[in-house]
Amino acid sequence: MPNPTRIEINCETGVESIIELTDAEVAEMKYAAQLAAEKKSEEDAAAAALEEQKLAVLAKLGLSVDEAAALLA
Amino acid sequence: MANTYELISGVTVGVGGAANIDFTSIGSTYTDLILKVSGRTANAAYNDTIKLTFNGSSTSAQIKRLYGNGASAASDADGSGAASINFYSTTGGTATTSTFGNAEFYIPNYAGSNQKSISGDLVTENNATSATAALGAGLWANTAAITQITLTPNSGLTFVQYSTAYLYGVKNA
């Protein structure tokens, strides 16, 4: 299977070239994808933890989510 | 008011997508540059981040971002020394089929000998609840004239077919 390609546009000549990535560039892409996936997992986990924290506070107060929203509106 | 506003070069991504879009050999004819992007990536989310690099440099970048989704807003930053100027947010692969995000970047005095600033406004497109609008103010702390601009999806995936990027030159006098 060929490597993904990139597009290079020479603004001086107007020539557009489609260039296959080198194996090193593909490895860089995979690394970037891994970092992005890890960051997203961390963000999702942080958002879930915050949501859990909010629900715990509401439970302590004896309020539902709708009741809390009504209070804040 | 701009005296000229001319298309320098433009590109439409073809079948198979593009890992990056690279404008090279940008002349110093103009005062400022404007880059307009209609983008969608293969990212497994409704959005993705566009990374901008100048002259192939992977240092001296930083940005502050303000973004919101209609329910909440936030801001964050990448401090000095980042590898690229990362702008939230373009459309990702799980957004409504055939929708594309819009983005515009402004680069004043790109050929001057001061450090280079850049501002950008971006929106995702999605016929669903999840959508984001964002503003960003970035800096490339380098005094070289900008002769190359590279756009890369932060997800490490590709811009999909029919994504477009157009580079314009603005002359103030």
User: CA nearest B8 in A: which residue?
Assistant: A11
Taking only the tens of pLDDT, chain A with its 73 residues reads 789 999 999 999 999 999 999 999 999 889 988 988 888 889 889 989 999 999 999 999 999 989 998 988 8
**Between the CA of residue B117 and those of A49, B60, B111, B123, B171, what are the distances in Å?**
37, 12, 11, 21, 17
Q: Enumerate the domain spans of chain B.
A: 4-171
Judge: B154–A36 Cβ closer than 8 Å, yes or no: yes
Q: Rounded distance, CA B86 to CA A5, Å?
A: 21
Residue with tokens 């690099």: B53
User: CA nearest A19 in B: which residue?
Assistant: B18
Residue A33, min C-alpha distance to chain B (Å): 4
Cβ–Cβ < 8 Å for B28, B111? yes
What's the 3-state SS for B78-136? EEEEECCEEEEEEECCCCCCCCCEEEEEEEECCCCCCCEEEEEEEECCCCCCCCCEEEE
Rounded to two decimals, the ipTM of the complex is 0.92
Q: Rounded distance, CA A58 to CA A73, Å?
A: 16
pLDDT tens per residue, range B19-77: 999 999 999 999 999 999 999 999 988 999 999 999 999 999 999 999 999 888 999 99
Judge: A4–B22 Cβ closer than 8 Å, yes or no: no
Total beta-carbon pairs less than 8 A apart between chain A and chain B: 70
Fold of B4-171: Jelly Rolls (2.60.120)
Residue A56, min C-alpha distance to chain B (Å): 21
Q: Rounded distance, CA A24 to CA A28, Å?
A: 6
Cβ–Cβ < 8 Å for B27, B6? no
* pTM score, whole prediction: 0.89
